[in-house]
């Protein structure tokens, strides 16, 4: 039996912050606002993995009211979530992610992000899907106010 989880995250784009997506610092005039590093790929994927194992969500595991997670490296939070899932008898098998951002272009950074995520999940890079889309200028994403990420993850019994 395999288990499937879905995750979603969005953060506001603001000046004076680094843009971190999937653990990669992307050169851009603005970055994502948040209590942690606001890495929306790591957050959405963490929720997908926790959801597949029915282990709750990132907000319950790492509350943003807790100073311990201030400016946290979200790839470390993802690694912690993967560890909890493994403790529950599941192993990541595959994931697929869509980043919706009017800018910057994700394509140049896709290989580095996939490699980093594969490392944290302990799976081959060929089992990590990652695509970037714009929102065709529509809505908050189209106006460049923020970035959203969708993620799906599959787990198999370990």
Which residues in this chain contact Mg ion in the complex, by CB under 5 A?
9, 43
Q: Cβ neighbours of residue 57 under 8 Å, at least 6 residues apart?
A: 47, 50, 51
Task: Tell me whether residue 43 or residue 109 sits nearer to Mg ion (CB atom).
Answer: 43
Closest distance of CB 158 from Mg ion, Å: 27
74-87 vs 110-121: helix crossing angle, rounded to 10: 30
Task: Tell me whether residue 59 or residue 157 sits nearer to Mg ion (CB atom).
Answer: 59
Task: Tell me whether residue 30 or residue 43 sits nearer to Mg ion (CB atom).
Answer: 43
E runs forming strands in 29-143: 30-32, 90-100, 128-133
Task: Tell me whether residue 62 or residue 93 sits nearer to Mg ion (CB atom).
Answer: 62
Beta bridge pairs of residue 25: 20
Three-class secondary structure of residue 86 per DSSP = helix
Closest distance of CB 157 from Mg ion, Å: 29
Beta bridge pairs of residue 143: none
> Per the structure block, which two tokens stand in for 92?
């990541």
């Amino acid at each position: 039996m395999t288990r499937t989880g879905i995750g979603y995250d969005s953060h506001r784009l603001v000046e004076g912050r680094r843009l971190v997506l999937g653990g990669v610092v992307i050169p851009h005039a603005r970055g994502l606002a948040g209590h942690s590093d606001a890495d929306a790929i790591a957050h959405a994927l963490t929720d997908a993995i926790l959801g597949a194992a029915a282990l709750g969500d990132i907000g319950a595991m790492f509350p943003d009211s807790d100073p311990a997670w201030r400016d946290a490296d979200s790839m470390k939070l993802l690694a912690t979530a993967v560890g909890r899932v493994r403790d529950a008898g599941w192993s990541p098998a595959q994931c697929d992610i869509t980043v919706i951002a009017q800018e910057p272009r994700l394509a140049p950074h896709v290989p580095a992000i996939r490699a980093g995520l594969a490392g944290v999940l302990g799976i081959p890079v060929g089992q990590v899907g990652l695509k970037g889309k714009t929102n065709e200028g529509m809505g908050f994403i189209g106006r460049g106010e923020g970035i959203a990420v969708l993620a799906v993850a599959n787990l198999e019994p370990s």
